[in-house]
Amino acid sequence: MFDFDMLGLSPALLSAIKANGFDTPTPIQNQAIPLALDGHDILGLAQTGTGKTLAFGLPLIAHLSEATGKPAPRSVRALILAPTRELVNQIADSLRAFTTGTPLKVATVVGGQSIGRQIATLARGTDILVATPGRLIDLMDRGAVDLRTAQHLVLDEADQMLDLGFIHALRRIAPALGTPRQTMLFSATMPKQMEELSRAYLTNPRKVQVSPPGKAADKVTQSVVYMDKADKPAKLREILDRDPDALTLVFARTKHGAEKLMKGLVADGYNAASIHGNKSQGQRDRAIKAFRDGTITTLVATDVAARGIDIPGVAYVINYELPDTPDNYVHRIGRTARAGREGEAIAFCSAEEVDLLVQIEKLMKVEIPVAGGTRPRAVAMEKPQRGGGRGRGQGQGKPQGHAKPAGRVMAAEAAPAKRRRPRRRRAA
């Protein structure tokens, strides 16, 4: 058994840790904190919900507390990059709990919020800036932030930043930081491209790995239920009715699908809300707060929330639709069984999704227990057309070789397209 006072942290930080209710460091914290305090670059691999934020956050605060003077206008002393707004806010809130009563300032910049207000905040300088790459690039282009004074860089959930196409942003941001610097890269999975990223940005890193990449948290009970796509709504309601007061996170594949699913639940009397890319930041923040408080018991989300929700009370994660990327399954189910608690993850799998399930099991090197139905033959999913589809994302097309399901038909589909009349040539 280890205690935080054995890791080399200052008395002030140890008091803050105790005041925030932490007694024993997690394995990733126990291994990473001493190395980070010594100034090493860190490559950290651990399951979601294992305390990675404090693994890099506490050493960061310790280093910055030793600095003298205030940050210069527009300057940043430490930069933390994360892929989503929710994760940025979560990291910042966690760090502020340990900087209260100190001169250290923590600021955030994300899309969907007033850039003018963010420019005004950065104009005063900040010690720790937590940012999404896209908005940070916007601010750099406007000359609103100077990263040359940053001596610390943290890439959190780096694999999802790669999935979301932030590699080009990282290539612009990293060279703008000061050197020499300490760089820490944390993630739950280790795709090949991230290995290349670590070689490019880390110098003689110490690798800290507390579980195999792609492995789910030990306290998550997983199961899969095979069913027809049309049976999913009824099955979801059956599960929600078993434990109406439990916090349940439901994942859909597309923004349109998540919103439609949420509205159907609300219409049936369920206490539900949704978060996805079409929601404003304010709407997303309010929904997460209501979910955290228990005012909302069912939250329907796309993968934008897979790594941005740190709510210890989530009892169930339901994969209403399996993700297109196997790594995202690991992050989705990591929203439950957090902070040492137990949780249950249930996956719905139709014939169109069997191949996705196979890829997930291959990544995790386990066969997910079957809780109902039998595995059907895989049916190829129709690929979405570029530029088309009002709300139909990847995997939302009808199965090939199957009749179109009954229901309301879009106007564009209901009427045949009009033929264009050929132009008559004018007489010469």
In a domain, 45, yes or no: yes
Residues 258 and 139 in one domain: no
Residues 135 and 226 in one domain: no
Residue 374 in contact with residue 226, Cβ under 8 Å? yes
Residues 169 and 22 in one domain: yes
What pLDDT does 338 receive?
A: 62
Tens-place pLDDT, residues 377-410: 777 665 444 443 333 333 333 333 333 333 333 3
Residues 264 and 333 in one domain: yes
Lowest mean per-residue pLDDT among 154-168, 238-252, 278-292: 154-168
Residue finishing a domain among 181, 209, 237: 209
In a domain, 181, yes or no: yes
Residue finishing a domain among 209, 241, 256: 209
What count of residues does the chain have?
428
H helix or E strand, kind and range, residue 315: strand 314-319
Given the structure tokens 């007694």, which residue do they identify? 23
Residue 314 in contact with residue 338, Cβ under 8 Å? yes
Residues 152 and 40 in one domain: yes
Structure pTM?
A: 0.68
In a domain, 418, yes or no: no
| CA neighbor of 332 nearest in space, from 311, 306, 299 | 306
Tens-place pLDDT, residues 325-368: 888 898 888 888 665 567 899 999 999 999 999 999 998 888 99
Q: What percent of the chain has pLDDT over 70?
A: 82
In a domain, 8, yes or no: yes
What pLDDT does 394 receive?
A: 37
Mean pLDDT, rounded, for 159-168:
78
What pLDDT does 403 receive?
A: 38
Tens-place pLDDT, residues 54-81: 999 999 999 999 988 899 999 999 999 9
Residue finishing a domain among 161, 188, 209: 209
| CA 3/CA 7 separation, integer angstroms | 8
The CA distances from residue 246 to 218, 313, 316, in Å, are 20, 8, 8
Residues 36 and 138 in one domain: yes
The residue ranking higher by pLDDT, 199 or 145, is 145
In a domain, 245, yes or no: yes
User: In this structure, what CATH number is given to the domain that contains residue 202?
Assistant: 3.40.50.300
Sorting pLDDT into bands at 50, 70 and 90, what band is 263?
A: very high
What pLDDT does 339 receive?
A: 55
Residue 238 burial (CB < 10 Å; 0-12/13-18/19+)?
exposed
Tens-place pLDDT, residues 306-322: 556 677 788 999 999 99
Residues 172 and 254 in one domain: no
Residues 294 and 370 in one domain: yes
In a domain, 40, yes or no: yes
In a domain, 399, yes or no: no
Under DSSP, the state recorded for 230 is: G
Task: Please say if the pLDDT value at position 162 is more than 70.
Answer: yes
350: domain range? 220-381
Q: In total, how many domains does the chain have? A: 2
What pLDDT does 120 receive?
A: 97
What pLDDT does 211 receive?
A: 63
In a domain, 420, yes or no: no
Residues 228 and 373 in one domain: yes
Residues 234 and 192 in one domain: no
What pLDDT does 279 receive?
A: 86
The residue ranking higher by pLDDT, 127 or 278, is 127
Mean pLDDT, rounded, for 146-157:
95
Number of H helices, E strands in the chain: 15, 14
Residues 265 and 374 in one domain: yes
Residues 375 and 349 in one domain: yes
- Mean of per-residue pLDDT scores for the chain: 84
